[in-house]
Structure 1
Amino acid sequence: MDLRLANMWRLTMNEKKFIKTALTSGIRIDGRNPYEYRKLSIKFGREDGSSEVQLGQTHVMGFVTGQLVQPYRDQANEGTLSIYTEFSLMANPSFEPGRLGEFAVELGRIVDRGLRESRAVDTESLCVLAGKLVWAILIDLHILDNGGNLVDAANIAALAALLTYRRPECSLGGEDGLEV
């Protein structure tokens, strides 16, 4: 783990005392009540496969793209799903431009695991020609501001972008029926 991230989680005695007092008093730093949700705003982009989510002070944009590729040998009749996360310099002070940080990688893994286990994307329906061509779906998540609850905001942005994505129409034809 990045040393800076590890050091962020070490709390002083005063911080621990403050957190305990705030919890017992039922207050939060942002002024919400203990059971009050963050305000959620979802905007769908003008182009297919894009979304913008604001959850409290957290701001995430999602973009979905797709392309035809050869399938993996062990999954000849399934398409692929990939998640890529990127933090803006203002979203996280530990972000280094041009280098994918450990937190960005872990966030991508969490979103990926959630989409796969919930079966939000039917990878078998992404198959065009078994063993030859499948759709590879890529979800780009751009973290513009990290104000807390980033995992939920990123998941919502990915799902919202997927809801508006329409893969291009393709059909099989030609003499042998195997041309795309």
Structure 2
Amino acid sequence: MLVSTDPASNVGQVFDLAIGNTIRPVTAVPGLSALEIDPQEAARQYRARIVDPIKGLLPDDVVNSISEQLSGACTTEIAAFDEFTGLLTDASLLTRFDHIIFLIPRRRATRFAFSSFPVPGVALLKAIQMVPPVLARWPGWKKQREQYAHAVEALSDPERTRLVLVARLQKFYAAGSRPHS
């Protein structure tokens, strides 16, 4: 299965298929499916999953502050990582597909390559361990913590995870053919 979180992804165009945010079989390639995660929609759903359950548990000014903190671009990255870990730890997907290939946008690929797992995941793992007691009682926190821990385990296991960086060969060869001083 091919999975993209890149809003500029052209996976659907490559296969002449509207893919979207549901797993679709790629009819041109037997056995291949694809999924294009919309990072903005993932962020909207992520914010709702965090904020909606705490409404009424915490004072309105605290809930509003949390909502404001979740309105930035970082939340979009975290939400995409949340979708990524959800797929990576979904037992039914792991039995259904031999390989799950994540297509990561260039701006995130470098960060991904030079860390043992994606940076938003590191921040979330640390943040989840420091949640206020009232939120620690919310069942969603435990589930998220476990999901990220399983994802980190999978990403750290060389038998289960392989990182492949693909560069645009035209630029690579053009740079290599220039005279060096």
* TM-score interval, smaller chain: under 0.3
Relative to its length, the structure with more strand (as a share) is: 1
Pair member with larger Rg? 1
Relative to its length, the structure with more helix (as a share) is: 2
TM-score, with length taken from structure 1? 0.24
